[in-house]
Amino acid sequence: MSVRFGVSPIAWINDDLPELGGETPVETVLRDAHALGFEGIELGGKFSRDPVRLGTQLSTHELALIGGWWSGALRVRSVDEEIEALQAHLQLLEALGSSVFIIAECSNTVHGDRRRPLATTPRLPAAQWPEFGERLSALALYLEDQGLRLAYHFHLGTVVDGQDDIEQFVAHTDERVGFVVDTGHAALGGINAERLIRSYPERVTHVHAKDVRRQVFDDTLKGNGSFLEGVLAGMFTVPGDGDLDFRGVAQALVDIGYSGWVVVEAEQDPARADPRAYGRVGLETVRRLFGPAHLAGAPR
């Protein structure tokens, strides 16, 4: 098994809440990520979209471009329209050697709107799942022909964020439609990440290692708060600093022979949670988890 450790720039600069770290230069993010010992980084909103310039920046800091979020809209546009819309994003990923294409359906999401409570998360009617799944499958086939695997990111506030959604998703999509197994979104959406990995090993394409503070999340729901209000309150953190036990997830990944990126990610306010300090905790935690003494045969 070959596992590489990367990081998301969202700890430094939050794309959904530009006031969080918006003044931070991209060079600072890349320098910190390299100094901490990460091998790669995902694409951030402030990163250059010029492949030569971005490639030079990444090379200077010895970082690979792991991939980058794409906000899909397959509920409201055809596969051909989606393919046309994503061309510049795809070409950047291809030019810099990324192997995964991370996508979430965002045509009616509430996760990026601070005024819309999580309680208003949209649901996809049963009658619409076959067409949605067919479009995702067709897009995955197209991306496969380009050399990238579609990695669907289930996410709080979107039409795929709970266990019932996962079951519909699997039932209506081809196996080439992979998952981003995001441990934080899984936990708060009621999805057992370890069980998901063991149940659908062929779908596990990418991993976001994220911890949670359940009480903060519960308080956000009780207060009819939005996803972004939960982020600001601190419902996410890095592995090793929250409520989750990652040993089962790590063992499941080893057992299925996962080969790919494990990305440390936590949407936090960098003014309250120093990205360097928390990044160090997250990386040390996932490195320990994938050490031989903590996997096969280790006590639970």
Mean pLDDT computed over 128-155: 98
Cα–Cα distance, 167 to 35 (Å, whole number):
41
Angle CA 61–64–65, to nearest 5: 115
What single-letter DSSP state applies at residue 120? G
- Going from the C-alpha of 185 to that of each of 19, 135, 235, 284, 295, the distances in angstroms are 23, 24, 11, 21, 23
Residues 6+ apart with CB under 8 A from 71: 103, 104, 106
Helix (H) or strand (E) holding 226: none
Mean pLDDT over each residue of the chain, to the nearest integer:
95
Is residue 295 predicted with pLDDT exceeding 90?
no
C-alpha triplet 21, 89, 268: angle, nearest 5°: 25
Q: Are 104 and 71 in contact (CB under 8 A)?
A: yes
> In terms of DSSP H, where are the helices of 14-162?
26-36, 51-60, 79-85, 87-95, 129-145
List the beta bridge partners of residue 69: 102
Q: Say whether pLDDT at 181 is over 70.
A: yes
Average pLDDT, integer, range 31-51: 98
User: How far is residue 289's CA from residue 291's CA, in Å, rounded to a whole number?
Assistant: 6
Q: Which residue has the tokens 């695997």?
A: 149
What crossing angle do the helices spanning 163-172 and 129-145 adopt, rounded to 10°? 60
Count CB neighbours of 23 within 10 A: 9
* Residues 7-21, mean pLDDT to the nearest whole number: 94
Residue-wise pLDDT for 60-112, tens only, equals 999 999 999 999 999 999 999 999 999 999 999 999 999 999 999 999 999 99
Which pLDDT does position 221 carry in this prediction? 97
**Which pLDDT belongs to residue 200?**
98
Spell out the residues 6+ positions from residue 78 whose beta carbon is closer than 8 angstroms to its own. Answer: 135
pTM of the model: 0.95
Distance CA 114, CA 298 (A): 43
Q: Are 160 and 154 in contact (CB under 8 A)?
A: yes
Separation of alpha carbons 60 and 65, rounded Å: 13
Confidence bin at 277 (pLDDT 50/70/90): very high
User: What domains can be seen in the chain, in order of their start residue?
Assistant: 3-294 (3.20.20.150)
Distance from C-alpha of 27 to C-alpha of 92, rounded to nearest angstrom: 19
For the cut 70, the answer to whether the pLDDT of residue 28 exceeds it is yes
DSSP class of residue 148 equals -
**pLDDT tier for residue 291 given thresholds of 50, 70 and 90:** confident
pLDDT over 80 at 298, yes or no:
no
The pLDDT score that the predictor gives to residue 1 is 46
pLDDT (tens digit, 9 = 90+) per residue, 190-208?
A: 999 999 999 999 999 999 9
- Residue 292 has a pLDDT of 62
